[in-house]
Amino acid sequence: MFVITADQVASRRDADRTGALVEALAERYADQLVLPADQTAGDEIQLVTRSASTALAVVLDATRTGRWSVGLGVGGIRMPLPDAARKASGSAFIAAREAVGAAKRADGRFALRAAGDPQAAADLEALVRLLLLLRERRTEPGWEVVELMRTGHQQKEAAAILDVSAAAVSARLKAAMWRAEEDARPVLERLLAELDERLAAHSAGESGTAAAE
């Protein structure tokens, strides 16, 4: 399972943005969350998903503005599930708590921790952070065209919507390094899913050994 914990940056000097983020995540990912985004304490939110692709997408969304430190924890969750993330527990929650603490001091304001496989977590963290830093360099015109492409528009359609030339759209996409992100996302999703599967298999093996004893 994947647990994401996000903590608002400089919340004492800024408006409380937790409600807006909770609503945005609910609108985009409601059907893909085991436990929906939940305000756990003060300016912090937490959510749970089984999907590696959803976990990565939430990380990318939450880090885009630079207003959140985001920790991704991978591991187990104690069953049965409660009705809210703030009531849940397990190794994935411990990992997410450690990750968000590290994210506050990290480039890209992101960290990843995995119960039982710290090296794999560190390797994946480095790769995700590269993608986040790439996205930080993207301009607003770049974001405009990238968002149109991600919602299924062709470049000619994007050009018409933005009232610019097709050549301008192509130049914006190149400057935004959109193709590099699109190539990287499925790889990162696969690596996250594989890490989750290994941890689940390891946990099941330990449980079976304990039961046999």
- What number of helices (H) and strands (E) belong to the chain? 8, 5
Distance of alpha carbon 89 from alpha carbon 97, whole angstroms: 11
CATH fold of 2-137+177-212 reads Alpha-Beta Plaits (3.30.70)
Contact 71, 103 (CB under 8 A): yes
Contact 113, 66 (CB under 8 A): no
Residue 14's CB is within 10 A of a number of other CB atoms, namely 11
Contact 33, 48 (CB under 8 A): yes
Domain spans, the chain: 2-137+177-212
What tens digit of pLDDT does each residue of 113-165 get?
Answer: 998 899 999 999 999 999 999 999 999 999 999 999 999 999 999 999 999 99
What tens digit of pLDDT does each residue of 39-79 get?
Answer: 887 789 999 999 999 999 999 999 998 899 999 999 999 99
* Residues facing 113 on adjacent strands: 73
Report the predicted TM-score, pTM, of the whole model to 2 decimal places: 0.91
